Structure formats: structure tokens, C-alpha cells
Amino acid sequence: MPIPSGLDCLHHDHMDGAITNLEAIEDYYKLSGFEMPAHFKDILNLDDLKHRTTAWYANPQIDIVTKFRLLTDVLQNPDTLFLFGHQYVKVRAGQEMRYCEGTFAPQYHTRGDNKSRARLTEKEAVSALLAGVEAAEKEYPKIEANVLIAIGREIVDPKHLEWGGVERAKKIVDIVADGDRSRLVGIGLVCDELTYPPEMHIEIFNYAHERGVMTDAHAGEWASSPAKLMENMRTAVHMLKINRGSHFRLLSRDSELCKYMVDNDIGVSSCPGSYLYSGLIRDIRELELDVLFERGVKVSLHPDDDLFMDDIHTVFWKCCRAYNFTDEQISQLRRNAWLTRFGNRKKHEF
């Protein structure tokens, strides 16, 4: 179903968790030389695949890393990554999106597969992805499709020096800084906030700012306590000096932080469908989006992982029903996504 008119800008959109992959999953496996997991054998049709994929991610007996390796394990060579990027643009364009900023973490795409002659570097993985994105955008010129290069926060784990640490993370920043800045629009911080809170990544973000790269960070989503969630949001804003925040689930409880973010034009991407899915909230009204509106925070709505969570259409209407938004608030909600995007390669009216 097309997105409601005007709701056509996404920038909290994990590419490896996007519905854009659904029809290509079997092709990814063939191109990688792997067999589909037993859970996916003898698929009847696309609806059956969607049902099985949703069940896969909802299964509490499968850990989160394994769940996402359903796709990342088979996105390890130039052919699969090209198709991955192409599918992302093709499907989002078909949903009548005009701007997309897909989140992609190259460190998870350097393991190799059964078809690769050699493991890709992070730079090679990004190049293959971008080739697919660019090719698809030529076919669907109404959309502007860019990439936010993410860093998995466990990269700095001192117990796992083999993961590369700060120096590897800086090299990922360099991919953006030295690459096509019109399409590689910034860096983000993703994954396990509980174990690796934002204060562990200050040096990385300082380096990104030195190199003139825009920054986003997942914070205030999932931590040991509400107090730690609040601390993580403040750390991301004041110490990582982010240009945009992702999640910030309890932001309405901190009026001073809200004011600082308004004064410094730091927007927030919220993913209510994700919080409901994960059990982090029971009611969308817990997010107090109306309070954020009243304070002038540029908050916008996004799907997070619509391969198995609510799509943006559903998220949008659930929020509208929960808050009984006025036409003016709905208009502002749509505009906020545009106002807080990082890319600006094409001219858009909104």
C-alpha cells in the first residue's frame, strides 16, 4: 500500500531489516552459495515467506545476532550487495518514497561466503552496495536514496581486540569522509546500547566531527534502567555531539535536554512500532510525542525494521489514533522527517 501523501521521507531505516529484502532473500542465498535455513525450506509463495520471516524474528529461542545473520550472512559479496542496494531503492520507490537514508553497517559484511574469492573490506562492501543503489536510482529517478554508514558499537570491546577497536571504527568514518558525500551522508551508532553505552564511543565521534561527517546515534532505546536511558541520551547529545538522535524514547521527561536539542536543531527519529514489538512500551502514548511537539522538538516517525515490524503506514496511523493529532501536527510530523534528513542531493518540495 502506498504511504499516505506527504509521508515519504525515511531516515531510520535499517537496510538489513527492511521489507525491501523479502522478494530477494532466496536470490541472496543462491548468489552466496548457501542453503536457506531449514525454517525456510519449501516456501509456497511470498506471503508464506513473509509469515516465516516474521516468525523467525519473533522466536525467543533465537538470539538477536543469529536472527539478523539470516541476511547478513548472505550479503558478503559484490553481487549480493549490489542486489541488496538495488532492491532497497526499487521497493521504496514503489512505495512512493521520495527520500530514503538506509542504514548500513559494513563491518558485518566482511566475513565472506561460499562464492566469494576473498572477503570484502568495509570499503569494498560499501562500494558494491552503492553501485546497486545508484543503478536503481537511475531507473527510479523520483527517489533520492542515500546511505548512513553505521558502526556496531561492540567494535570497541576491550575483551575482543580482534574486532578492531577505535582504529577500525575510524577507518569506517574515513569511508564516508573520503567517499561520495552526496550519497554517504553520515555515520551512525547502532546495536547493543546496554553493554556498550555511548560514552565508549566519544573518540570515534570526535574524529567524525574533525572529518566533517554528520553523526547520528541510537540512544535511549534499551538500557538497564530509565535513569541509564536518560544518561545515554544526554551523553549522545553533549559528549558525542550528535547532529541527530535515534530513538530517545524517554526524551519528554527531560525538558532541559529538549530545549537544548531545539536550540541546536537536533532532530529525533522515533520508531514506535519497534518499541511495541520489543515490549519496551505497551502504549504509544508512553512516548509523549505530543509533549515533544509542544516543546518544538523535531521528532519524526520511522519503521526501524519493517521486514518483521510494523511498516511506516501502520506506525503513522497508530500514532494518529493514539494522540488524535490535528492536521497541523500531522503536517509538522511529516515535515520534521524532511527537515532532519542528512542528504540534499536533489531538490524536494515538502
Q: Could you tell me the residue ranges of all domains in the chain?
A: 1-142
For the stretch 267-310, pLDDT in tens is 999 999 999 999 999 999 999 999 999 999 999 999 999 999 99
* Beta bridge mates, 145: 100
- Dihedral sign from CA coordinates of 73, 224, 272, 157: negative
User: Cα–Cα distances in Å, from 283 out to 58, 221, 286, 290, 319?
Assistant: 19, 15, 6, 14, 10
**pLDDT on residue 6:** 57
Topology of domain 1-142 in CATH is TIM Barrel (3.20.20)
- Dihedral sign from CA coordinates of 114, 118, 122, 123: negative
Judged against a pLDDT cut of 50, whether residue 102 lies above it is answered with: yes
**pLDDT on residue 117:** 78
**pLDDT on residue 39:** 87
Q: What is the mean pLDDT of residues 323-331?
A: 91
User: Cα–Cα distances in Å, from 239 out to 97, 136, 174, 275?
Assistant: 34, 38, 21, 25
Is the CB of residue 337 less than 8 Å from the CB of residue 11?
A: yes
Q: Which three cell numbers stand for residue 186?
A: 553520515
Q: What is the mean pLDDT of residues 40-57?
A: 91
Q: What is the mean pLDDT of residues 108-117?
A: 92
Judged against a pLDDT cut of 50, whether residue 236 lies above it is answered with: yes
Q: How far apart are CA 203 and CA 312, in angstroms?
A: 34
For the stretch 12-35, pLDDT in tens is 999 999 999 999 999 999 999 999
Q: What is the mean pLDDT of residues 115-143?
A: 96
| Nearest Cα residue to 181 out of 236, 219, 126, 132 | 126
- 4: confidence class by pLDDT, cuts 50, 70, 90: low
Judged against a pLDDT cut of 90, whether residue 349 lies above it is answered with: no
